[in-house]
Structure formats: structure tokens, C-alpha cells
Structure 1
Amino acid sequence: MNERLMPNIDSMEVDRTSIAKLLSFDSRMTVSHNTAEIIPKASWQDKSHAFARWMCTPLGACIAIYGLNVVAWGGMLFLLMCNAAPAMCHPSCDSLDSSRRIWIEIDSQILNALFCVTGFGLAPWRIRDLYQWFFWRLGWSEASRRKGFTRLAEIHKNWFLKSQEPSELPISTQQNCPAAEQATPTPLWKMDVVVWGNILNTVFQICLAACMWAMNRFDRPSWTTGLFVGLACVVAGVAGILMWLEKKRAKKASEHPGALLLIPRATQPITPGGKSGNYTSIKPEL
């Protein structure tokens, strides 16, 4: 190592200490070419204010009202099933003429109607995804299969990371490609699970609605309601959780923690370069 680097050992220790203090701050790094920008994480007050503003939008208000209804009527049904109100068990808790059984039927019909909002309301988009899935998996030609998969990946681009060949992309596009697209591609079987989970949720909801509307509470078998509600919730939950995990993974891959940018520089000899906090790395001469 060149002897002119020896007097800088003390300054190197000071600089490493400063960098260690900088890394102790809870912040996120975003990179644009050769520059790094520190963006502090939003506090819970900012998140709550953003959520309140979203609640004031038409979509947010509708989703909030829908969710509150599901929670309220679902909670009431749970309490009735647990015999939380003994006064309603007259002449007995299992009597079809008791207030408990009547309100169980009312709650079940209301919850069925609420589930139909999503099961039937999202059916056109789910059928579209299934249509593209058939092109992808059962297409006669390679071009049709590729077209179906490309369309599905574009529809679900908020959570699905499609693998891209470098030779198929222009040089300028590869340089500006975000880090999320450079992460590990999403396994293809997850697209199958999401498409079929969503379409099966609609199918099970149709079966539930047919049982609830075609038969009265005296003739309807009790197992039909529990079976179709459980199946519809399971398939929708699996698809939703899978999309949430993949979206979280893509978001994590797109972030650049400050430690990944600053630690390699700290391992090299560095000297102050100009103003405080501005450091320039020096390559040792052999």
C-alpha cells in the first residue's frame, strides 16, 4: 500500500464511526443511477391521516361500509351460534320457531347477500382471467399460449413478477428497468392458484346462493350453508394471501437499504472530500 495513505488511518476511523451512526437511523434508500436519496419511513400518524383521507373517497367509503356490515352481521351470527342470548331460546334453542333460529336465518341471508356482492360483482373479471388462462395452458399454438400468459401477467402486474430475457429488451429499457422486475420471477403455479381460487369462490357463492334462495329454513339441510361458506372463504383466502405475500416480496425487492450502499464504501480507505458528510473513496495503489 502506498505510504501516503498511512496518515489517513485516524480519519478513516472517524469516517467509519460517522457512517455507523448514519446507518443507525431507520430510513429507506432509493437509488437513481449513481445517487442515493434517503426517504424516512412514514410515522403511524401519517399513515392514519392517509387512511382517513382514503376513507373519505367514494371507493374507500363503500369498502368501509361493506367491511363493517360483514363484521357486524358475522359477529352477531357467531354469538347466536354460541347461544350467547339464552332469552331467545324459547321454547328451546333448537326449535325452528324460537327467536334464535329466526335471527340465525336473517343473519345468514344478509351475509349471503353481502358475499354475493363480491362473488357476483367480480365475476366478469374472474371469467376474463380464466379465459386468458385457457389460452395460456391449453392453447393450440405457442403464440396463443404466450399471448395468454402475457395478458395474465399484465393484468396481475401489481403482484406477479414476470421473467424477462435480456435479449428481448432494448438496451435503454434494460437500464431503466426497476429493481422489482429484476427480482426472482414469481412461480407460474401461483398464477394458477390465484385464477382458480377466484373463479372457485364465485362458483361456491353461486351454490350457496342457490341453497339459500331455493329452499326455506325448514327444508334446507344445515350442512349446505356451512360447507359452501367454508369452501368459498378458503379458496378466496388462499388466493388473497398468496397475492399479498407476492406483492410484499416485490415491494421488498424494490427497496435498497442504506447498509447495502454504504458498508462496501466503508471497507475502503476514505478521506473527507469537501463539506461535512461528503466522502470520496481512494483506490490504493499497488
Structure 2
Amino acid sequence: MEQGTHDTPGTSKGEKIHDVDLETGSPDLSDRVEAKSHADIQFSASFWITTGRPLVQWICTPVGFLTTIYGLNIVAWGGMLFLLMCNAAPAMCHTDCDSLDSPRRIWIEIDSQILNALFCVTGFGLAPWRIRDLYFWCFWRLGRSARSREIGLARLADIHSGWFLRPQERAYLTPTPRWKMHVVVWGNMLNTVFQVCLALCMWALDRFNRPSWTTGLLVCLACLVVGVAGVVTWLEKRRTKKARECG
């Protein structure tokens, strides 16, 4: 007579799973679900402590609140401009989508002007500090004496001490390559230059005689250079932070 497990009438699927768990010694299904739920709760609590709470506290500060409003405006108006460019609202294509008098083209101009004004806040608002960095960069790279070049680099290193490390600053840390300072200084400065060019095109020319390629090209260039500078700064800051913690 063969020995094995046979299903008996009236035996439910849950009872069979429970019997298998008891025979094999594996944890019960309810225990696994409870353990997973406990792990999820611990992860949520740790995420709130390490990320959520500091973020909320930063947003409640004046700088954090204004930065949040600024970022939300860029996302909202930029998203609307993207949808208009993709013809996501056919009802606005009165007579023709490409007609200069259509609601679509009028709102594209309104969105473009608002985004240009938002970009001018950072492009023009940070210009004094960017010009200061360029001034010390000229001392560093174009100084006639070794002392003036050292002073220029030292001032830049002090200004960007949050991510730039000089060779003699920490013996156990790898110094920051100097080309990264070039990228950050010129990336920020070129962002202001491209923003000036964009503002001139948007304000000096109207939508009837402004070349369509100027707006897209200048916006892409301005975002590209400042994006590269921001990524370099962020990566180097993260590297130095990890190195300090390990040291």
C-alpha cells in the first residue's frame, strides 16, 4: 500500500498549506507576512527620520519655502508648455495649430515669458556671486605671480569649501581635481550669460519676428551648463562626505 499524502474531503487549501509548513519546519505564512509588515514599518520609520522630517523642516524655513514655490512654478509652467508643444489640447488649435493668432500659440508665448522670468531669478540673482568666482578664477589662472595665483585658488577653495578639497587640507582625503573648479565656475557663469541672451531675445523681439530656434537653443544651453556644474558639485560633495565619515 502506497504511503503519501492524500487530500481528504472537507480539507481546505489553507489547512493543507499549514500542514506542509508544520511538516517541513518552515515558518508559517502568517509569520512571514507579519515579519514583512514589521520590516516595512521599520523602513518607513527610518525613512521619515532620515529624510522626511528634515525635508519638512527645511521646507518650513523661509529659504526652503521660497525654493519649493519656485520649483513648483517651473514644473507647472514647464509642463504646460510641454503639453502645448505636443498639441495635447486640440481645442486651442482654432483654425490652425500653427497659426500665430491661435490660442495655442498665444499661450505658448505666455508660458515662455513666464519661464524666462523664472529663469532670470537665478540667472540674474546669482550673477554677483558668479562674477566674484570668475574674478578669483582670473587671479588663479591669469595671475602674473605665483603668489597671486595661490591667493586666487585659496579664495575659491574657501568659497566652495563644502565640496572642494585642497591637497594640504586633509592628509587622508584625496584632493579634488582642479578641473572640477573650472567646470563649476564656468558652468555657473555661462548660465548667466545664456540667460542674458535669452532675456534679450524674449524682450527685444515679439513672437511675430522672433526666430523659433533661439528660445529652445538658449534654454537648452543654459540648463545644460548649470546642470553639469550642479552634478559635479553634488558628486564631489558626496565623495568628500563619505571620505570624512570613513576617516
Which residues of 2 match residues 195-234 of structure 1 at below 5 A?
A: 195-234=185-224
Task: Work out the CA distance in 2 between the residues paired with 1:140 and 1:246.
Answer: 30
Task: Work out the CA distance in 1 between the residues paired with 2:131 and 2:54.
Answer: 33
Counterpart for residue 93 of structure 2: 89
Task: Work out the CA distance in 2 between the residues paired with 1:200 and 1:115.
Answer: 13
Deviation of 1:245 after TM superposition, in Å, equals 0.4
Task: Work out the CA distance in 2 between the residues paired with 1:206 and 1:182.
Answer: 43
Residue 192 (structure 2) pairs with residue 188 (structure 1): no
After superposition, the C-alpha distances for 1:251-280 in whole angstroms (9 at most, x for unaligned) are 1111239xxxxxxxxxxxxxxxxxxxxxxx
Q: For 2:109, which of 99, 105, 124 is the aligned residue?
A: 105
Residue 118 (structure 2) pairs with residue 114 (structure 1): yes
Residue 40 (structure 2) pairs with residue 50 (structure 1): no
Deviation of 1:50 after TM superposition, in Å, equals 1.5
- Structure with greater strand percent: 1
Task: Work out the CA distance in 2 between the residues paired with 1:91 and 1:216.
Answer: 22
Task: Work out the CA distance in 2 between the residues paired with 1:161 and 1:244.
Answer: 14
Q: TM-score normalized by structure 1?
A: 0.69
Q: What do you get for the CA RMSD once the two structures are aligned?
A: 1.3
- Structure with greater helix percent: 2
Relative contact order (C-alpha < 8 Å, sep 6+): which is higher? 1
2:246 is paired with a residue whose SS is: coil
What amino acid sits opposite 1:230 in the alignment?
C
Equivalent pairs counted in the alignment come to: 202
2:139 is paired with a residue whose SS is: helix
Residue 233 (structure 2) pairs with residue 254 (structure 1): no
After superposition, the C-alpha distances for 1:182-211 in whole angstroms (9 at most, x for unaligned) are 311011111001100000000000000000
2:95 is paired with a residue whose SS is: coil
Counterpart for residue 238 of structure 1: 228
After superposition, the C-alpha distances for 1:197-238 in whole angstroms (9 at most, x for unaligned) are 000000000000000000000010000001100100000000
Task: Work out the CA distance in 2 between the residues paired with 1:256 and 1:196.
Answer: 32
Deviation of 1:125 after TM superposition, in Å, equals 0.2
Task: Work out the CA distance in 1 between the residues paired with 2:231 and 2:172.
Answer: 23
Task: Work out the CA distance in 1 between the residues paired with 2:113 and 2:147.
Answer: 47
Displacement over 3 Å in runs of 4+: none
What is the percent sequence identity of the aligned residues? 71
Counterpart for residue 140 of structure 1: 144
What amino acid sits opposite 2:199 in the alignment?
A
Residue 146 (structure 2) pairs with residue 156 (structure 1): no
Counterpart for residue 65 of structure 1: 69
5+ unaligned residues in a row in structure 1: which ranges?
1-41, 166-176, 258-286
Q: TM-score normalized by structure 2?
A: 0.80
What amino acid sits opposite 1:94 in the alignment?
D
Counterpart for residue 74 of structure 1: 78
5+ unaligned residues in a row in structure 2: which ranges?
1-44
Task: Work out the CA distance in 2 between the residues paired with 1:105 and 1:111.
Answer: 10
